[in-house]
């Protein structure tokens, strides 16, 4: 079943075209990796899909579970089952993580026409997911991401993902700022969520995350377009050769031919 279909997507940020015609189809149960050099448009793609204000779609179409994704507000996309794990999770002082999670979870459930969680059920679920991620309960009392280390922030993203149980999870540079142990924990959290009904879009610069979250399909994004698509071996190839092939004029010409 096709979960996400991106067709000829063009988008601008601050008047500059960053995405220049993306085509991508993700089916339920698949894990896609989008790799690319800095400035290739990776993060922009994740923000455009999540509906961040200021990221303007100028052309193209995105269908998510049969719905026109671009017509939905950010919270509507979340309710429809899309989750973005942020590269730089945002601090919200004074709002405890528990409070935040409860508000988010109940808002999403309400939008889906489901019953709100009772406080007891919520705490049970939270406790269970925390344990899976090896998180300290003390963290829940602190303000969302306030004073969290890089690893704690990413774990917190993984926790939110586990709680919200999305259909499609986009992981934006989840490996950045993580040491290898934290990376493993977060990757395990993600792997635990893999299922035939759920898809992942893993956005990363480096191959190292893909050692822990094995992709089915790998795309190379450069200068706003998908330049190459292949299997997991493509990621390994990139690790050896880097992105040189995909940057500069020669690369662009080569890329154009391959599409």
Partner 1 sequence: MPIAPETLLDKKYEAGFVTEIESDRAPKGLSEDIVRLISAKKDEPEWLLAQRLKAYKHWLDMPEPRWAKVSFPPIDYQDAYYYAAPKTATKPKSLDEVDPKLLETYKKLGIPLREQEMLAGVAVDAVFDSVSVATTFREKLADAGVIFCSISEAVRKYPELVQKYLGSVVPYTDNKHACLNAAVFTDGTFVYIPEGVRCPMELSTYFRINEAKTGQFERTLIVAEKGSYVSYLEGCTAPMRDENQLHAAVVELIAMEDAEIKYSTVQNWYPGDENGKGGIYNFVTKRGICKGARSKISWTQVETGSAITWKYPSCILQGDDSVGEFYSVALTNNYQQADTGTKMIHIGKNTKSRIISKGISAGHSNNTYRGLVRISGRAENARNFTQCDSLLIGHECGAHTVPYIENKNMSAMLEHEASTSKIGEDQLFYCRQRGIGEEGAVALIVNGFCREVLQQMPMEFAVEAQKLVAISLEGAVG
* Contact flag: residue 83 with partner 1 (CB under 8 A): yes
One of 21, 29, 60, 74 touching partner 1 (CB under 8 A):
74
CB of 155 to partner 1, least distance (A): 16
Strands 67-68 and 16-27: unpaired
User: Near partner 1 by CB under 8 A, which window of 21-29, 91-99, 177-185, 210-218?
Assistant: 91-99
Q: What is the DSSP letter of 174?
A: T
Residues 101-130 that bind partner 1 (CB under 8 A): 103-105, 107-108, 111
Whether 226 and 25 have beta carbons less than 8 Å apart is answered as: no
* Contact flag: residue 90 with partner 1 (CB under 8 A): yes
One of 29, 60, 143, 151 touching partner 1 (CB under 8 A):
143
What one-character-per-residue DSSP string does 56-113 give? EEEEEEEEETTEEGGGS-HHHHHHHTEEEE-SSPPPEEEEEHHHHHHHHHHHHHHHTT
One of 21, 29, 60, 89 touching partner 1 (CB under 8 A):
89
* Contact flag: residue 6 with partner 1 (CB under 8 A): no
Can you tell me which residue has the tokens 């917190």? Answer: 156
| C-beta closer to partner 1: residue 86 or 200 | 86
| C-beta closer to partner 1: residue 28 or 99 | 99
* Contact flag: residue 75 with partner 1 (CB under 8 A): yes
CB of 14 to partner 1, least distance (A): 14
| C-beta closer to partner 1: residue 79 or 238 | 79
What tokens were used for 125? 């679920």
What one-character-per-residue DSSP string does 6-63 give? EEEEEEEETTEEEEEEEEEEEETT-EEEEE--TTSSHHHHHHHHHT-TTEEEEEEEEE
Total chain residues near partner 1 (CB under 8 A): 33
Residues 38-67 that bind partner 1 (CB under 8 A): 50-54
Q: Report the alpha-carbon angle 190-8-41, nearest 5.
A: 55
């Amino acid at each position: 079943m096709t979960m996400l279909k991106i067709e000829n997507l063009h988008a601008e940020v601050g008047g500059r075209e960053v995405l220049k015609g993306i085509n991508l189809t993700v089916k339920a149960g698949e894990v896609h990796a989008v790799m690319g050099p800095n400035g290739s448009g990776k993060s922009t793609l994740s923000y455009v899909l999540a509906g961040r204000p200021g990221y303007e779609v100028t052309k193209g179409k995105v269908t998510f579970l049969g719905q026109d994704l671009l017509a939905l507000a950010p919270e509507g996309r979340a309710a429809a089952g899309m989750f973005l794990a942020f590269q730089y999770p945002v601090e919200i002082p004074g709002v405890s993580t528990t409070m935040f999670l409860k508000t988010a979870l109940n808002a999403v459930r309400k939008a889906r026409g489901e019953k709100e969680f009772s406080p007891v059920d919520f705490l049970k679920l939270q406790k269970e997911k925390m344990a899976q991620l090896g998180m300290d309960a003390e963290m829940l009392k602190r303000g969302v991401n306030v004073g969290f280390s890089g690893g704690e922030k990413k774990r917190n993203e993984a926790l939110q993902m586990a709680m919200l149980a999305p259909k499609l999870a986009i992981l934006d540079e989840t490996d950045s700022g993580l040491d290898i142990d934290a990376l493993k924990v977060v990757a395990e959290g993600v792997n635990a969520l893999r299922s035939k009904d759920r898809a992942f879009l893993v956005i990363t610069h480096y191959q190292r995350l893909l050692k822990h979250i094995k992709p089915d399909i790998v795309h190379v994004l450069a200068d706003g377009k998908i330049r190459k698509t292949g299997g997991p071996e493509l990621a390994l190839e990139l690790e050896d050769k880097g992105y040189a092939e995909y940057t500069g004029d020669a690369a662009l010409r080569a890329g154009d031919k391959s599409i």
